[in-house]
A and B are shown apart, each in its own frame.
Chain A
């Protein structure tokens, strides 16, 4: 079965420090991977996606993600965290078997402390 795992419920980081939010996946065929961010009482905002090509994908708000095929991972990173980055982050993979639906992880809450 295709799935996504986000092993950390919460990540705490000090402002200005680098951050990493982890994601691993299991899919049939080539993976299409996505990161979304959710602020309180708001919908999901698209950050970035990996389809093919460069393993390092750059996205919105200074975020980037590294695709690692051998480790089946797609970790979200940012060199210098901001307090305003505090939010809920979701990793997702496209279902290659059935339709184009997204399969989401359970989310990781990022807390950036001043």
Chain B
């Protein structure tokens, strides 16, 4: 079946602009996660949704970052007033439920802020 999909695959923007990154999870998966991976590092947690609600947003670096999942499926990560330090690969993952359920990752969106 279809895996997790993310669009766009690449996004280049200028400092100060607003961007939206989209994640389409595996059908039927109730949990959705956003991670950020900087060059040479492991993924770092940003936010986690269980259904429509954000169960844990403790990884969001500041209030320029926001994410929604209005219908409990597709999620959008929104970044306002982008900074060069936001440049990274943004990864989305979904799992059937919670606990030890495997998180399946999408291919990521490479964000470059000039």
Interface residues of A (CB under 8 A from B): 32, 34, 36, 42-46, 49, 51, 90, 92, 94-95, 98-107
Do B100 and A106 touch (CB < 8 A)?
no
Do A44 and B102 touch (CB < 8 A)?
no
Contact partner of B100 (CB less than 8 A), chosen from A36, A94, A98, A101, is A94
Do A100 and B91 touch (CB < 8 A)?
no
Within 8 A of A (CB), among B91-114: 91, 93, 95, 98-108
Q: Check if B27 is an interface residue, CB within 8 A of chain A.
A: no
A98 to B58 alpha-carbon distance, docked (Å) = 10
Do A46 and B102 touch (CB < 8 A)?
yes
Contact partner of B48 (CB less than 8 A), chosen from A51, A99, A103, is A99
Total interface residues in chain B, CB < 8 Å:
29
Q: Chain A residues with Cβ under 8 A from B107's Cβ?
A: 42-43
9 pairs of A and B residues whose beta carbons are closest in the complex: A104-B42, A99-B56, A101-B45, A44-B105, A43-B105, A43-B107, A51-B100, A32-B100, A100-B98
A106 to B59 alpha-carbon distance, docked (Å) = 17
CB distance from B13 to the nearest CB of A (A): 20
Do B33 and A101 touch (CB < 8 A)?
yes
Q: Check if B55 is an interface residue, CB within 8 A of chain A.
A: yes
CB distance from A63 to the nearest CB of B (A): 15
Q: Chain B residues with Cβ under 8 A from A95's Cβ?
A: 45
A12 to B3 alpha-carbon distance, docked (Å) = 31
Q: Which of A45, A51, A99 has the most C-beta atoms of chain B within 10 angstroms of its own C-beta?
A: A99
Do B42 and A101 touch (CB < 8 A)?
no
Q: Chain B residues with Cβ under 8 A from A106's Cβ?
A: 40-42
A107 to B91 alpha-carbon distance, docked (Å) = 16
Do B91 and A43 touch (CB < 8 A)?
yes
A99 to B53 alpha-carbon distance, docked (Å) = 13
A25 to B78 alpha-carbon distance, docked (Å) = 33
Do A105 and B31 touch (CB < 8 A)?
no
CB distance from B8 to the nearest CB of A (A): 14
CB distance from B55 to the nearest CB of A (A): 6
Q: Chain B residues with Cβ under 8 A from A32's Cβ?
A: 99-100
